[in-house]
Amino acid sequence: MIKIAIFGVGLIGGSIALCYKGKPGYTVVGHSPNPKSVEKLLKRNVVDMATTSMQEAVEGADYIFLCVPVGMLEDYLLQLSKLPLKPGCVITDVGSTKASVTECASKLALEGVYFIGGHPMAGSERHGVEAASSHLFENAFYVLTPALGTPQEVVDRLTDLLKITKAQIVQVEAKEHDDIVGAISHLPHIIAVALVNQVRGYNESNPLYQNLAAGGFRDITRIASSEPTIWRDILLNNRDVLLRLLRDWNVEIDRFVDLLNNNDGDGIADQFRIAGEFRGQLPERRKGMITSLYDIYVDIPDHPGIIGQITTLLGNQRINLSNIQIIESREDVPGVLRLSFRNQEDADRAAELLKINYTVRI
């Protein structure tokens, strides 16, 4: 039996737990310092066993996942280094930054056990075990940052274990990880929050701002609803990288100031063209469950029962939906449904079927 211990069973820790819970040959133990959380984990059936005792959680564990906020990772590593761990045990984490935790583990010089930093590139603005899903990591990249000198056999062992999450495992050097993820994840979170707060300020004197905010604003600001303390820790931990990225961001913004001052329409269009080309090359299909794989969009009139009609139509044809989301729905305004499918064939069949009565966009 392979024992997996998870510290911090929230969105990510809970999703890791659900990937292994109930699989033959695995037993999953969750840890929380809070007895009420331990009760909740057992009640929700996310883990096989839960405890407030660190020692009990790690006893005999083959793998230990640290899924607590970034600001707690080093403290947890230190505490683990003082506990009797099973020889050969692999400790990993899921923190959104990798340089500091990897360096901390190297300094601790763990004996007979190994640390390999990890970061699944999937998540959501939600938090807590209630938001966990065994599908979260499907098709997502999962970064490992093994320190130089980590035996290949140990890296292979963790890689094999993580394949069960259906993520694509890649290795990146820890500092390079923080540079890249700073730009593609941390900076966007800052921008989303700053933009929402800018508009919130205008809205104080005119509530029409909030009412008129539509798809564009919602698309770019979803992540502004992310958990504040999780993101406080991430941004502070990657501070130096982010300060550099924010200087570069100011350059990009100043470029638009100049283009507008100069009435430079061609320059503005060029910026959109360059951005669109790059964005078009993003690996669209490599996403976690929350932004799904094969989506179609259906315009729907706002009347009761409409969603039921659509799901019944699909169900009658045995077309499996993997997710359904109302993107826009207000009184008297037609809404948009995003229907997500696990494969292209289902998405195509659904589009054909729904086109008869609805406007469908692919």
Ligand X SMILES: NC(=O)c1ccc[n+]([C@@H]2O[C@H](COP(=O)([O-])OP(=O)(O)OC[C@H]3O[C@@H](n4cnc5c(N)ncnc54)[C@H](O)[C@@H]3O)[C@@H](O)[C@H]2O)c1
69 binds ligand X (CB under 6 A): yes
Helix, strand, coil in percent for the chain, rounding step 5? 50, 20, 30
Q: Does 123 bind ligand PRE (CB under 6 A)?
A: yes
Mask 34-53, x = binds ligand X (CB under 6 A)? ---x----------------
* Binding partner of residue 185 among ligand PRE, ligand X, none, CB cut-off 5 to 8 Å per kind: ligand PRE
Quick one: which H or E segment has residue 2?
Answer: strand 2-7
In angstroms, the CA 145 to CA 289 distance is 24
- Per the CB < 8 A criterion, the answer to whether 340 and 324 are in contact is yes
- Joined together, the tokens standing for residue 282 give 């993003």
Of the pair 67, 298, the CB lying nearest ligand PRE is at 67
State yes or no: residue 94 binds ligand X (CB under 6 A): yes
Q: Does 124 bind ligand PRE (CB under 6 A)?
A: yes
> How near is the Cβ of 36 to ligand X at its closest, in Å?
10
Is 9 a residue that touches ligand X (CB under 6 A)?
A: yes
Among 2-10, 142-150, 175-183, 206-214, the segment contacting ligand X (CB under 6 A): 2-10
Contact flag: residue 17 with ligand PRE (CB under 6 A): no
Among 56, 59, 103, 125, binds ligand PRE (CB under 6 A): 125
Of 58 and 122, nearer to ligand PRE (C-beta) is 122
Which stretch in 25-33, 63-71, 119-127, 161-169 sits in contact with ligand PRE by CB under 6 A? 119-127
Assess 96 for contact with ligand PRE (CB under 6 A).
yes
CA atoms of 144 and 123, how far apart (whole Å): 16
Q: What is the largest CA-CA distance in the chain?
A: 68
Binding mask 170-209 for ligand PRE (x = CB under 6 A): ---------------x------------------------
29 binds ligand X (CB under 6 A): no
Nearest Cα to Cα of residue 298 among 218, 217, 362, 214: 362
Give the strand order in the sheet containing 63-66: 49-51, 26-31, 2-7, 63-66, 90-93, 114-120, 141-145, 168-171
Residue 119 to residue 65: CA distance in whole angstroms: 11
Q: Which helix (H) or strand (E) holds 337?
A: strand 333-341
Q: Which of 353, 314, 352, 359 is nearest to 336 (CA)?
A: 359
**Total residues at the site for ligand X (CB under 6 A)?**
26
11 binds, among ligand X, ligand PRE, none (CB under 5 to 8 A by kind): ligand X
User: Which residue ranges make up the site for ligand PRE (CB under 6 A)?
Assistant: 96, 121-125, 185, 223, 226
